[in-house]
Amino acid sequence: MLRTSGLTKRFGGLTAVDGVDFELGADELCSLIGPNGAGKTTFFNLLTGTLEPTAGTVEYREGDWVDVTDDEPHEMALRGLHRSYQITNVFPTATALENVRVAAQADGGRDAWKLWRNVGAFDEYEREAREILDRVGLGDEADTVAETLSHGQKRHLEVAVALAGDPDVLLLDEPTAGVSSDAIDRLVDLIRNVAADHAVLLVEHNMDVVMDVSDRVAVLHQGELIADGEPEAVREDPVVQEAYLGGYDPDEADADADDGARGGEAA
């Protein structure tokens, strides 16, 4: 569905993404991992048109491969590539339903905003929004103002907004950041749910989540792609161990997650 060739981004003398060749298949969930500063978010921003690459190409599959390197973010969204963000990014004073409805309406194209259009024609966007809220477990919170939702619920709402318009590809940027262990369990279930019928590229630091949900794991280090393969093979890769995982142990990770949950915000 999505691929890059030689994708590079330099900021002055700093190379944030360095010649990355990458491909995401349809209905595949690939996690993108790496230490802080590895270039993961920059890579996301290049894929979505938020940043212009210094070199290389981005292609999107629409039957044939189409060069979308110069597309703007709204053009990528209309093609069917949607994303969430590290920091919760919803309209805080709008209800959950309004957040998702507006996103669905935006994906409806220019005609969706014609003021002289019959108001009944917008029912389709509200129906879509309610269906998505049901899917992400927020059906009962449709009329709740977003800022009053728990942090975990806001993360679900962000996924709901990203699902509006039925995209082909979802880029999820650290969806479990800052949530409790119970909220993480529900988010993992949601990620599995959406990956059943979407291609998903997931940036995530929680290695238990990564190893649990991923079909593939790709590793960025200092802007370079140093590994790309099945989760177990990547975890055992000595280059990855040295660069990032540093002796990752699932049992120790579980203990750390439990400790972190005691201080985390409840869902």
Identify the domain containing residue 107 by its residue range: 87-166
Last residue of a domain, one of 166, 195, 229: 166
Same domain for 114 and 225? Answer: no
The answer to whether residues 124 and 105 touch, using CB atoms and an 8 Å cutoff, is no
Would you call 74 helix, strand, or coil by DSSP? helix
Q: Which of 61, 30, 48, 22 minimizes the C-alpha distance to 168?
A: 61
Same domain for 261 and 206? Answer: yes
Same domain for 242 and 207? Answer: yes
The predicted model scores a pTM of 0.83
The DSSP-derived string for 233-245 is: HHHH-HHHIIIII
Same domain for 101 and 120? Answer: yes
Last residue of a domain, one of 166, 199, 229: 166
- Neighbouring CB atoms inside 10 A of 111's CB total 8
Same domain for 2 and 60? Answer: yes
C-alpha span between 68 and 139 (Å, rounded): 35
Number of helices and strands in the chain (H, E)? 10, 10
Same domain for 71 and 173? Answer: yes
Last residue of a domain, one of 131, 166, 201: 166
Same domain for 128 and 244? Answer: no
Residue 114's pLDDT is 52
Same domain for 57 and 95? Answer: no
Residue 85's pLDDT is 81
Largest Cα separation within the chain, whole Å, is 62
User: What are the DSSP E strand ranges found in the chain?
Assistant: 2-11, 14-24, 29-33, 55-62, 64-67, 81-83, 169-173, 199-203, 216-221, 224-229
Query: pLDDT in tens for each of the 267 residues of the chain?
Result: 999 999 999 999 999 999 999 999 998 999 999 998 899 999 999 999 999 999 999 999 998 999 999 999 999 999 999 998 877 778 999 999 999 999 998 876 545 445 445 545 578 899 999 999 999 999 999 999 999 999 999 999 999 999 998 899 999 999 988 888 888 999 999 999 999 999 999 999 899 999 999 999 999 999 999 999 999 999 999 999 888 866 555 555 555 545 544 444 444
Residue 266's pLDDT is 41
The answer to whether residues 139 and 132 touch, using CB atoms and an 8 Å cutoff, is no
CA dist 158 to 46, 77, 216, Å?
Answer: 20, 15, 23
The strand order across the sheet containing 64-67 reads: 14-24, 2-11, 55-62, 64-67
Query: Helices 96-107 and 151-163: crossing angle, nearest 10°?
Result: 20
Residue 252's pLDDT is 54
